[in-house]
Amino acid sequence: MVIDTNGFNPGEGPGLYLHVPFCQSKCRYCSFYSEPLARFEPAPVIAAMIAEMDQYDTTQVATLYIGGGSPSVLPCDLLLRLVGHAAARCPAALEFTVELNPGQTGAALFHDLRRAGVNRISLGAQSFIQFELDLLGRIHTPADVDRAVRQARDAGFENISLDLIFAIPGSTLDSWKCSLDAALALAVPHISAYSLTWEDGTLLSDDLAAGRVVQIDEETDRVMYELAIDAIAADGLKQYEISNFARPGYECRHNLNYWSNGDYLGLGPAAASCRKGVRTLNVADLAAYTRAVESARTPVAESEILTPLERACETAVLNLRRRQGIDLVQFKKQTGFDAMSLFASSIQIHREQGFILCEGGRVFLTQQALAIADSILCDFADV
Ligand code: SF4
């Protein structure tokens, strides 16, 4: 399971993502496509996902990721059918992650997943403060996260990741520190920490517009992020991407492939794929998706062919999310472009401001650039 931490290796093979489009209820901040399980029959959708998988040669898939939605909301036999089929169809997979909601797990589920070939668990902890979980509309408690980690370990999982969210309305530096401490006390080898994003059309954005909640100010958001970087690093997890931290060898290979701009295939309703410069998006509708697959039609609703220049820009933006940044030799091999020439003016501007370094054949963001990374990356999105 140990991987080369300097090796963002697009040659490792494509990733396969399975989007389970069901949740128990909608979290107040979430804009992902998912439907409440109580209102739909999941079996035909999962059968269609399995049939969609069978349309592809997946023998070279290097990483598998079942996310959503909430895979753990499915009846256990249905989730295991999907897991078992994916494992059988992807014999070369080195990493097999399933995303779980801590409020929907039990000892038996972890044992079943482990036996079925899953070797990495991602738990949506988000916060260890009950008030914040309630505000986000999460269905679990902080105690559920502790129990889920313990049960995962008991079932033989070492590779466990926790997702955390900061800058939640009503949170403070102290409450964020409490969540970080609680997460670090669980001694998992991987943590993802994201600032809350305000997506249009979510219940939380409606609350904001109506004045029912107040957004955390930019400065506090930045201090919370830096607090996370310092606290997590002090615990021995290395920041390898803007929002991701891991003990050596526990970086998420599936996402490393994504940040390398490697190919990935997404299956299921609303799943996105990008293969050989063609980006596609499956239809975000359970009935339309299932009907399309059952009648041997494509469930793809949108498709876009990227030009070589667009691919190069996309590769640069994704690469710069990693702390090791753009590997100039790899970039040239992958895109045909010389990154130093292609992005000469953006590199120069941000170098002068101390936000970018060019060293050892790589171009990467400095520590001080991380909190404003999105605005810097915009300058690489087109030339
Ligand atoms: S469980 Fe995840 S996918 Fe489902 S509503 Fe909540 S955040 Fe969205």
- Rounded to whole angstroms, how far apart are CA atoms 234 and 325? 22
String of DSSP letters for 134-187: HHHT-S--HHHHHHHHHHHHHTT---EEEEEEE--TT--HHHHHHHHHHHHHTT
Sheet with 300-305: list strands edge to edge: 238-241, 244-246, 190-195, 160-166, 120-126, 95-100, 63-68, 15-20, 264-267, 272-275, 278-282, 300-305
Number of H helices, E strands in the chain: 15, 17
Whether the pLDDT of residue 10 is over 70: the answer is no
Answer yes or no: are the C-beta atoms of 62 and 47 closer than 8 Å: no
Answer yes or no: are the C-beta atoms of 322 and 315 closer than 8 Å: no
Enter the tokens of residue 120: 């990495």
Summarised one tens digit per residue, pLDDT across range 77-114 is: 999 999 999 999 999 999 999 999 999 999 999 999 99
Mutate to test the pocket of ligand 1, among 19, 22, 30 (most ligand atoms within 8 A of CB): 30
Give, using CA atoms, the residue closest to atom 3 of ligand 1.
Answer: 69
Summarised one tens digit per residue, pLDDT across range 321-336 is: 999 999 999 999 999 9
Binding site membership of 69 for ligand 1 (Cβ less than 6 Å): yes
Binding site membership of 23 for ligand 1 (Cβ less than 6 Å): yes
Whose CA is closest to 263, among 5, 13, 4, 1?
Answer: 13
Model-level pTM greater than 0.85?
Answer: yes
Q: Which residue has the tokens 């201090």?
A: 223
Summarised one tens digit per residue, pLDDT across range 26-79 is: 999 999 999 999 999 999 999 999 999 999 999 999 999 999 999 999 999 999
Answer yes or no: are the C-beta atoms of 259 and 8 closer than 8 Å: yes
- Rounded to whole angstroms, how far apart are CA atoms 363 and 352? 14
Which atom belonging to ligand 1 lies closest to the Cα atom of 31? Answer: 8
Binding site membership of 103 for ligand 1 (Cβ less than 6 Å): no
Binding site membership of 126 for ligand 1 (Cβ less than 6 Å): no
Binding site membership of 171 for ligand 1 (Cβ less than 6 Å): no
Which atom belonging to ligand 1 lies closest to the Cα atom of 68? Answer: 3
Binding site membership of 123 for ligand 1 (Cβ less than 6 Å): no
Q: Which residues on neighbouring strands pair with residue 166, listed in sequence order? A: 195
Binding site membership of 342 for ligand 1 (Cβ less than 6 Å): no
